[in-house]
A and B are shown apart, each in its own frame.
Chain A
């Protein structure tokens, strides 16, 4: 027993020393040693960084067996995680990374993403170009409306515009998405400004609006949970999450999409980009083409009922998707997109922090 223990001690010592050594050696060898794989040789693994609960496991398994490869999915807990991966230097460990339109301009300008060879993604032609903000560097995957959903039985008022969310009767009733770049555009629209404004005085006014809004908020995040268990009667959330919440409520679903009259709602896209220096580009292109295939995406929509920019896939999608009550609203065209606001992001963030710090 004691001999074994001392053996373990010795071997673990070695391991620890190796770990110490490992910390230093890559410094000298890092640049240039990762020789790019010869394109003739097919890759056997694909590393993707994306949201959890956003793609069907079955589709991944099919892709793996078709291409005789392993797909390693790892998940972010925040959009910013992806940006950190791309910009801090760990990006090339992945072949595809999911990001959203608000960051695309800076990512391209900073040279963090590869220009895509669209000839290798023939099925991308199914994607509606109106929803394709950076067609050279990204493939849109799914989109999200950020709109208002409320429980018509428990919500004291009818909500037809963002300003209704400030109604004092809604105190402690709203469950909302979080994040500066999701919340400020809503306030800016309510005030009649450009949702991607870079004017500080407008953002400051939006901040004042959000302070009032904040008083009615019960929680940031977890909208489905709060809507279904009765904690909140109103939610500012994504269409896919609203769809799940409605399905969860069963036959007599009291949740409705707010009948907005004038205000535009946000439509954001999650897109795949290829980080500069990605290693398994052959498989990455195959994967991109695979998810753009109408039948494949249609199957995915059954499980993940988000807004889909792939028109052919929507046409092929099952009844449940096309008759989804969460997609039953008539201002689908009245949308705005998140744009890269550049340096103004700091202004947004400062006011956002101020908002969360409170008085």
Chain B
């Protein structure tokens, strides 16, 4: 073997071969499955959705493969504009509330010793092992006209007649928050936990008040966590329809309902696809905004 090494071409070949063994094979083995999966089950379906959104609708709700921008023209209708606006409002409201409630909570957990903290995190997740529809139904049972809350209020003499809590916006917001809060707390916790205590101490040693430390050190440093929380709460809230259906009495349609209906009752797949593309664009814009502040790869999910 040693006699051949003098040959530079051979050496290159060997090093290339080695490179294949050292780099290419493990890279393929490790990144391969995930890449194949994502291309097959995310990229292709998403491209197909975009494709379908430019097709036309058959008489019987089937997709006719003829180019048309009809679906997008329909979207310009004031009705859809209102639905989108309304969905954005609710999602925004939920996100802001989850952040305001979740940040102090995440901070509280992050300050505990790691053992306790991981237990506390576990404690947040446990309710999510029960069915979300069952949990929503619980709120209805609790707050309904002849339910425990109203009974208590009447028994305590606080009110004379039962109050209608059910099917109000307040209950919808409560349901949204109890469903979405963990998605805000988990990324917030991750980023607060990573904060080096020494930084905070340094800040306070240098004479900063706790408030200054929070706004000048803690908050900026946990910004990736905050933005992750925004994305993880805002986007699912935009598409969710079970909460408003169950707790809001189905009086208001959100964009999630409308998309669901296009693929169900109304059977207008191109329009449903176009609405989905619209959601994609909205989320894409948000992500673009995110990448202005932080690297996408640094996004905290848990």
Contacts and interface: CB of A to CB of B under 8 A. Distances in A.
Interface residues of B, number: 37
B36 A229 contact: no
A354 B258 CA distance: 11
Nearest to A178: B250
A255 to B, nearest CB: 15
Q: Which of A219, A220, A222, A346 has the most CB of B within 10 A?
A: A219
B158 interface: no
B147 interface: yes
B255 to A, nearest CB: 10
B36 A20 contact: yes
A32 interface: no
Interface stretch (B11-19, B182-190, B263-271): B263-271
Interface in B21-44: 33, 36-37, 40-41
Contacts of B140: 225
B265 A229 contact: no
Interface string B179-199: 000000000000000000000
Judged by DSSP, the binding face of B is loop
A217 B268 CA distance: 28
A221 B145 contact: no
B164 A229 contact: no
Interface residues of A, number: 42
Interface in A272-307: none
Interface string B238-263: 00000001000111110001100101
Contacts of A73: none
B119 interface: no
A80 B265 contact: yes
Interface string B78-110: 010011001000000000000000000000000
Contacts of A220: 249-251
Nearest to B86: A357
Contacts of B232: none
A20 B40 contact: yes
A79 B266 CA distance: 11
Interface in A315-359: 342-343, 345-346, 349-350, 353-354, 356-358
A218 B249 contact: yes
A172 interface: yes
Contacts of B245: 221
Nearest to B37: A20
Contact of B79 (A79, A109, A218, A354): A354
A23 B40 contact: yes
A106 B60 contact: yes
B10 interface: no
A177 to B, nearest CB: 10
Contacts of A217: 249, 251
A234 B223 CA distance: 51
Nearest to A112: B60
B41 A78 contact: no
Contacts of A126: none
B264 A356 contact: no
A230 interface: yes
A84 B250 contact: no
6 contacts: A110-B62, A221-B245, A225-B144, A353-B83, A356-B253, A358-B82
Interface of A: 13, 16-17, 20, 23-24, 78-81, 83-84, 87, 106, 109-110, 172, 178-180, 214, 217-222, 225, 229-231, 342-343, 345-346, 349-350, 353-354, 356-358
